[in-house]
Chain A
Amino acid sequence: MCGIIGLLARTDDCRARLGELVTPMVLCMGTRGPDSAGLALFHEPLRNGHRRFAIFHPDRQYDWPAFEATCRGTLDSELGCDVLASHASLTTSSSPAEVRSLLARSFPDLHLLSVGHSMEVFKDEGLPADISELYEFPTMTGSHVVAHTRMATESLVSPAHAHPFTAGEDFCLVHNGSLSNPNSIRRQLQRKGVEFETDNDTEAGCRFLQWRMSEGDTLEQAIEASFSVLDGFFTFLIATADRMVLVRDAFACKPAVVAEADDYIAVASEFRSLAHLPGIADAHVYEPEPQHIYTWQV
């Protein structure tokens, strides 16, 4: 199973209420994925080229003040560090290489969830309702969000195996389905120097798409290429700083429903998740077709 959810705001009011609107959608899809949950939230890009680094430690009492002090000393004395349970959000002028190097050197038990000028990932193991409360999903604001509730079928239940998966910057993916050739994709990409964090099939799909883009493909070209490379079932919901993109494999046995309204674009695995959105009665509700790439601009 697994549930996927996406919401792209088309009005300021909707941007201000993004978390309030998306949280019930996520909770509703909890029945499809009770193992873990997560979301990627997109804000206005940080100013002056600063980046946001979402960092995770499984201990919810982790000593984040000590981490912050070290970061200020080594990286950037002006950096920001907002902490919520197992999650720290570091905003800094330092480069991804500098942050990765510090983490590898001094904090090997910390896990870097996301890097970007706009994107921030929250994900953890447990019931979606608990994760939503812990990370205060309802209070979130932003331009768009993609979320996932996981029922693990092919790899471990752990915070790192929860979705969304990210690769590069401001790029993430949530997946309903399962790939049957993630190991060969992973081996091929590793030979090209791509680094992996888990043995998860979705991570292989995510890194494949991002690798194609790093080689010059547009996202559409990378997705077209994935049709012949990824073996298995997928409904992918992909988000970048300025787009939300939905695609289903040729067989299309993993569901999705889209609602296009004046105020928002909403996507979910099932209509149940969309049924209580404001203005849904007047929205254009439809099922996405196989191998058709649906793109919505922020």
Chain B
Amino acid sequence: MAGLKQFDLAEISVRELNQELHDAPAEAGLERIEIVNPDGMHSIVAGMDRAVDIEILGHAGYFTAGMNKLANVTVHGNTGWSVAENMMSGRVHVQGQASECAGASAHGGLLVIDGDASSRCGISLKGSDIVVGGSVGHFSAFMAQAGRLVICGDAGPNLGDSLYEAVIYVRGEIASLGADACQQPLDDEDRRQLAQLLEQAALDHDPASFTRIGSARQLYHWNADARQEY
């Protein structure tokens, strides 16, 4: 197939793989990349800066597709900690489960996790959209500043603790909300945006079945009377 290149991580190191992908000139015509034997290795395709389809055929390790720009990365398996951390644009799709800190500090693009994400999903989110087909663990969207986190399953304890202006949509049960996170009305604009995100993630849920969680903005200003009990 034209434009398809396969890399075998049993043969080359992650560093060699990433260097080759970073260095490949635009005219090389790479359109699709397949990576076999990822075997849980860390930092696979971190730092991509081109529009290219990447398929990782197996379980990947920490920082998979970290700092991604433009690339469309699909992981046919699970990922370790911090998948798509600091993503700027593009799309990262995990077909299995994602471990902790999925999408940490991501600025743009879309992260889709078909299975469950673990704790601290979307921590410090700065503008990306994250759609989780399953459930998320504790302290998800901790201090999330901008962007949207859609959780089709349940959310663990302390959801949205110290939330800024990111918005969370949850379809299932919420174990508990974190400090300053609160339930807010789901309006037509929310439903429209949810429908769009669910469609992008190829998930078939009724947008009206979600609960909207946002910031109560009570932590924005220091309150000496609260004695740090929020």
A binding-site residues for B, Cβ under 8 Å: 250-253, 255, 257, 270-276, 285-287, 289-290
Closest CB of chain A to B184's CB: distance in Å? 28
In chain B, positions 81-119 with a C-beta closer than 8 Å to chain A are 81, 97, 99-100, 118-119
Contact A272 to B40, CB < 8 A, known contacts A252-B137, A255-B81, A287-B97: yes
Contact A274 to B119, CB < 8 A, known contacts A285-B78, A289-B137, A290-B137: no
Q: A276 — which chain B residues lie within 8 A by C-beta?
A: 39
Contact A274 to B40, CB < 8 A, known contacts A252-B119, A252-B137: yes
Q: What interface size band does chain B fall in?
A: 10 to 19
Contact A270 to B61, CB < 8 A, known contacts A275-B39, A286-B97, A287-B99: yes
Report the Cα distance A257→B98, complex, angstroms.
12
Contact A271 to B59, CB < 8 A, known contacts A255-B100, A287-B99, A287-B118: yes
Q: B62 — which chain A residues lie within 8 A by C-beta?
A: 270
Establish whether residues A270 and B40, one from each chain, have CB atoms under 8 Å apart when the complex forms: yes
Q: B59 — which chain A residues lie within 8 A by C-beta?
A: 271, 275, 285
Q: A273 — which chain B residues lie within 8 A by C-beta?
A: 40
Q: B41 — which chain A residues lie within 8 A by C-beta?
A: 272
B binding-site residues for A, Cβ under 8 Å: 39-42, 59, 61-62, 78, 80-81, 97, 99-100, 118-119, 137-138
* Contacts A271-B40, A272-B42 supplied; 8 other A-B pairs, CB < 8 Å: A252-B100, A255-B99, A270-B61, A271-B39, A271-B59, A286-B97, A287-B118, A290-B119
Contact of B61 among A250, A271, A287 (CB under 8 A): A271
Contact A270 to B80, CB < 8 A, known contacts A255-B99, A285-B59: yes
A28, closest chain B residue (CB): B40
Q: A275 — which chain B residues lie within 8 A by C-beta?
A: 39-40, 59
Closest CB of chain A to B139's CB: distance in Å? 8
Closest CB of chain A to B162's CB: distance in Å? 16
Report the Cα distance A275→B118, complex, angstroms.
20
Establish whether residues B119 and A271, one from each chain, have CB atoms under 8 Å apart when the complex forms: no
Report the Cα distance A272→B9, complex, angstroms.
12
Report the Cα distance A285→B62, complex, angstroms.
16
Q: A289 — which chain B residues lie within 8 A by C-beta?
A: 137
A250, closest chain B residue (CB): B138
B96, closest chain A residue (CB): A285
Q: List 22 A-B contacts (CB under 8 A).
A: A251-B138, A252-B138, A253-B100, A255-B80, A255-B81, A255-B99, A257-B99, A270-B61, A270-B62, A270-B80, A271-B40, A271-B61, A272-B39, A272-B42, A275-B39, A275-B40, A285-B59, A287-B97, A287-B99, A289-B137, A290-B137, A290-B138
Closest CB of chain B to A133's CB: distance in Å? 23
Q: B42 — which chain A residues lie within 8 A by C-beta?
A: 272
Closest CB of chain A to B137's CB: distance in Å? 7
Q: B119 — which chain A residues lie within 8 A by C-beta?
A: 252, 290
Q: A285 — which chain B residues lie within 8 A by C-beta?
A: 59, 78
Report the Cα distance A290→B61, complex, angstroms.
20
Closest CB of chain A to B208's CB: distance in Å? 30
Q: B40 — which chain A residues lie within 8 A by C-beta?
A: 270-275
Q: Sorted from nearest, which 8 A-B pairs have the closest CB atoms?
A: A271-B40, A275-B39, A272-B40, A275-B40, A271-B59, A287-B118, A287-B99, A252-B119
Q: B61 — which chain A residues lie within 8 A by C-beta?
A: 270-272
Closest CB of chain A to B56's CB: distance in Å? 13
A275, closest chain B residue (CB): B39
Closest CB of chain A to B200's CB: distance in Å? 26
Q: A251 — which chain B residues lie within 8 A by C-beta?
A: 138
Report the Cα distance A251→B40, complex, angstroms.
23
Report the Cα distance A131→B66, complex, angstroms.
35
Closest CB of chain A to B82's CB: distance in Å? 11
B37, closest chain A residue (CB): A275
Closest CB of chain A to B78's CB: distance in Å? 6
Closest CB of chain A to B20's CB: distance in Å? 22
B117, closest chain A residue (CB): A287
Report the Cα distance A286→B98, complex, angstroms.
10
Closest CB of chain A to B39's CB: distance in Å? 4
Report the Cα distance A276→B41, complex, angstroms.
12
Closest CB of chain A to B144's CB: distance in Å? 18
Task: Give the residue among B40, B42, B81 with the most A Cβ atoms within 10 A.
Answer: B40
Task: Give the residue among A252, A271, A274, A286 with the most B Cβ atoms within 10 A.
Answer: A271
Contact A271 to B100, CB < 8 A, known contacts A252-B137, A287-B118: no
Report the Cα distance A275→B100, complex, angstroms.
19
